[in-house]
Amino acid sequence: MSAMSIIYALLFYVATFIFVAGVGYKIYVFARTPQPLKIPTTPAPITYTGVALRMVREVTLFESLFKSNKWTWLFGWIFHLSLLLAFIRHLRYVLTPDNVLWPIINLELVQTAGKYAGYAMLLGLAGLLARRFVVDRVRYISSPSDYLMLLLLLTIAGSGLLMTFVSHVDIIALKGFVLGLLLFEWQLLPASPFLLIHLTLVALLMIIFPFSKLLHAPGVFFSPTRNQRDNPREQRHVAGWSAQIDNTKSADAG
């Protein structure tokens, strides 16, 4: 067992713990914080089904962003879709052939899509980065962390692509390492500079996730302007401070 393997094994345990605990805690905070008033951005759906559909359109098609800015929509949508495809492709490292998902993950189509998604991801990210530089309004609102986040993702995508197309990694050994992590039977990590870069940055991404704007991922589901039903007249809504209101006293007096 090399020192490198041990370091990376520990790194991934720490990163996973921070990611899961951090995002879990944040979701708990979002969920426990009351929303005292009805504030859906109208026209808004009246039913739960309508709200579910609005949310599905928002997270799959980026509906509001589409209304807003076609370039940002295009680059953002390409990036997120290719991230999803790449993620699905990566599942082959953690799943074993006896898993129900294995036949799907192993499909030629899924693997190829995931492979080339890397290029699409670079394109999407480059577009988003270019907007930060080129559009004066977007430059104005960008902090160093906003550029760094894009660079981080670009480097992750770039190092992944290099391993796929240029300097291949022993993926059997890599899978051994990953499964070893899952089963707590540590295996050797194949030595490859691109792999080390790739893994380090992915771990970093997981660590900063709960403290950064990446919280938009759980956040969107909790956004009251998007997830509330438009039914304040039909059903009295109370939460938090508004649940303390008791009007019956003044009613008796009147």
By CB under 8 A, name the binding residues for other proteins: 26, 29-30, 33-39, 41-46, 58, 62, 64-65, 67-69, 72-73, 76, 128, 131, 135-138, 140-146, 148, 208, 211-213, 215-216, 219-220, 222-226, 230, 232-233, 235-238, 240-242, 245, 247, 250-251, 254
CB 159 within 8 A of CB 201: yes
Handedness of CA 21, 24, 26, 29 (dihedral sign): negative
CB of 124 to other proteins, least distance (A): 12
Q: Residue-wise over 182-193: b if at least 16 C-beta within 10 A, else e?
A: eeeebbebbebe
CB of 222 to other proteins, least distance (A): 5
CB 188 within 8 A of CB 209: no
Say which DSSP state 213 is in.
Answer: G
Q: Which is nearer to other proteins, 103 or 224 (CB)?
A: 224
CB of 8 to other proteins, least distance (A): 24
Q: Which is nearer to other proteins, 109 or 247 (CB)?
A: 247
Q: Which is nearer to other proteins, 56 or 107 (CB)?
A: 56
Q: Which is nearer to other proteins, 26 or 90 (CB)?
A: 26
CB of 63 to other proteins, least distance (A): 8
CB of 146 to other proteins, least distance (A): 5
Q: How far is the C-alpha of 207 from the C-alpha of 205, rounded, in Å?
A: 5
CB of 57 to other proteins, least distance (A): 11
CB of 206 to other proteins, least distance (A): 15
Say which DSSP state 241 is in.
Answer: G
Q: Which is nearer to other proteins, 103 or 232 (CB)?
A: 232
User: What distances in angstroms separate CA 88 from CA 51, 95, 142, 232, one per listed residue?
Assistant: 27, 11, 31, 41
Q: Which is nearer to other proteins, 26 or 115 (CB)?
A: 26
CA-based max dimension of the chain: 81
Tokens (6 digits) for 232: 């304040």
Q: How far is the C-alpha of 67 from the C-alpha of 85, rounded, in Å?
A: 25
What sections of the chain are H helices per DSSP?
3-32, 48-61, 63-68, 70-90, 102-105, 108-134, 136-141, 144-165, 171-183, 193-208, 216-222, 224-227, 248-253
| Backbone dihedral angles phi then psi of residue 247, each to the nearest 5 degrees | -90, -5
Q: Which is nearer to other proteins, 183 or 216 (CB)?
A: 216
